[in-house]
Amino acid sequence: MTALVRVVNVEKIYKTGAVAFQALRGVSLELAEGDFVAVMGPSGSGKSTLLHLMGGLDRPSTGRIEVQDVVLSEMNETALAKFRRTHIGFIFQFFNLIDNLTIQANIELPALLQSGRERKAVRRRANALMERLGILDQARKHPWELSGGQQQRVAIARALINQPTLLLADEPTGNLDSKSGQEVLHILRECNAQGQTILMVTHDASAAAQARRVIFIRDGRLVEEMPGEDVQRIAQFMITLTET
């Protein structure tokens, strides 16, 4: 398979005054097109930092990140924003929907930001996504009127509206009950089955087990990789990682 995302020897250092904290230490990683990768690790291990860098939300201190052969760190703010808009979809633990927009408006927002997109086509695409995710009847409601699971479906629909190259999910089930969490994971697996490349950060072994492969990260370094089918093995390794 062709590498869709390349993370090459990336380091990330956060500086607060005189104190420096190294979040990532020489991480290298590749995601193929259609891949579904789960990233696991203890708190503060650097997994969210890796996701932010891959989504162009932040820049690496050293190293290179390429998405579809485009080097993110070489882009300016505006170009990066446009790239994110068209190539990256984000799903967050706390949904991050815009409170004063309806569900439909939230979903359509990234598409309407792009010039030249026909409004009707955007509406058709949004409706199709809402129907697929089972929230079409909620279209005219506002985020606070929906349950957590429904809000996360809206966030997924928003992330998918522009048919992104890469879908990044940061603890997508972390704020949901188990039933809603399972439904969200099911949706993600379905998306992946249709060819969507996904990178998901999670603490939950059962969630990670939905991925094709799981990579483990500790103290800013990749320490292990394994296929994502065996929940027991993933959970066991995670316990080991946390305790040692």
Partner 1 sequence: MLAVWQKIKADVAGRPFISLLTLITIVSATMLLTLALATLLNLSAPYDRSFATLNGAHLWLYFDRAKVTRRDIERIEALPEVTESTGIQYSVTGRVKIGDTRVWVSIRDTPLQPPRVNRLLVQEGRYLLPRQNEVLASRDLADLYGLAVGDNVGITRQDGKKITLPVIGLAYNPTWDTYRNTQPPYLYISESLFRELYPDSTAWEWSLGLRLADPEAVTETLARIEALLQPDAVRSHTDWRDVKRSANFGARLNFILLGAFSLFAILATVLVIVSSISSFVLSQFRQVGILKAVGFTKAQILWLYLGQYLVLGLVGCPIGLALGLLLSPLPLRNVASALSTTFRPPFNPLIVVLVLSIVPTIIAAATWRSARRAAKANIVKAIATGAEAPAHKEFWLPRLAARLGFSIPFVLGLSDVFARPFRSLSTGLNLLIGVVGIVFGLTLNETLETYKANPYLLGIAYDAIVTRGITPDSKVRHLLARAPGVTAFYGEYRVDVETPTGETFQVRAVDGDVTAFPFRILEGRAIRPGTDEVMAGQGLLDWLELRVGDELTVIVDGRRNWPVTWRIVGAYTEPVNTGQMAIANFSTLARLLPGESPSIYYLKLAPNADTALLKRYIEPKPESDLNLTLAGQAIPGVVVYLQLALFALSGILIGIALVSVFNTSLLAVQEKLRVIGVLKTIGFTPAQVLTMVNTSAGFLGLLAALSGLPLGWMFTKSVLAALSKTYGFGAVEVTLNMAYGAALPLLMIAVSVAGSYLPGKRAARISIVQVLRGE
Q: Which of 60, 110, 149, 220 binds partner 1 (CB under 8 A)?
A: 110
Distance CA 98, CA 101 (A): 6
Q: Which of 8, 75, 112, 231 binds partner 1 (CB under 8 A)?
A: 112
Tell me how far, at minimum, the Cβ of 77 lies from partner 1, in Å: 5
Residues binding partner 1: number (CB under 8 A): 31
With binding defined as CB under 8 A, does residue 20 bind partner 1? no
Name the segment binding partner 1 (CB under 8 A); options: 82-90, 131-139, 180-188, 214-222. Answer: 82-90
Beta bridge partners, 221, equal 218
Q: Do 168 and 55 form a contact (C-beta atoms < 8 A)?
A: yes
Tell me if residue 205 falls in helix, strand or coil: helix
Q: Which of 25, 64, 142, 221 binds partner 1 (CB under 8 A)?
A: 142
Q: Residue 137 region, left (φ>0) first, then alpha (ψ -120 to 50), else beta? A: alpha
Interaction residues for partner 1, span 205-234 (CB under 8 A): none
Q: Do 172 and 188 form a contact (C-beta atoms < 8 A)?
A: yes
- Between 143 and 172, how does the x/- string for binding to partner 1 read (CB under 8 A)? -x-------------x---x----------
Q: Which of 8, 70, 109, 136 binds partner 1 (CB under 8 A)?
A: 109
Q: Do 88 and 75 form a contact (C-beta atoms < 8 A)?
A: no
CB burial readout 56-76, b (16+ within 10 A) else e: bbbebbebebbbeeeebbebe
With binding defined as CB under 8 A, does residue 70 bind partner 1? no
User: Following DSSP, what letter does each residue of 19-63 receive, concatenated?
Assistant: EEEEEEEEEEEEEETT-EEEEE--TTSSHHHHHHHHTTSS--SEE
With binding defined as CB under 8 A, does residue 57 bind partner 1? yes
With binding defined as CB under 8 A, does residue 68 bind partner 1? no
Q: Which of 22, 102, 127, 182 binds partner 1 (CB under 8 A)?
A: 102
Closest CA to 202 of 227, 179, 235, 154: 235
Tell me how far, at minimum, the Cβ of 221 lies from partner 1, in Å: 20
With binding defined as CB under 8 A, does residue 55 bind partner 1? yes
With binding defined as CB under 8 A, does residue 100 bind partner 1? yes
The binding site for partner 1 (CB under 8 A) comprises 49, 52, 55, 57-58, 77-78, 81-82, 84-86, 90, 92, 94, 96-102, 109-110, 112-114, 142, 144, 158, 162
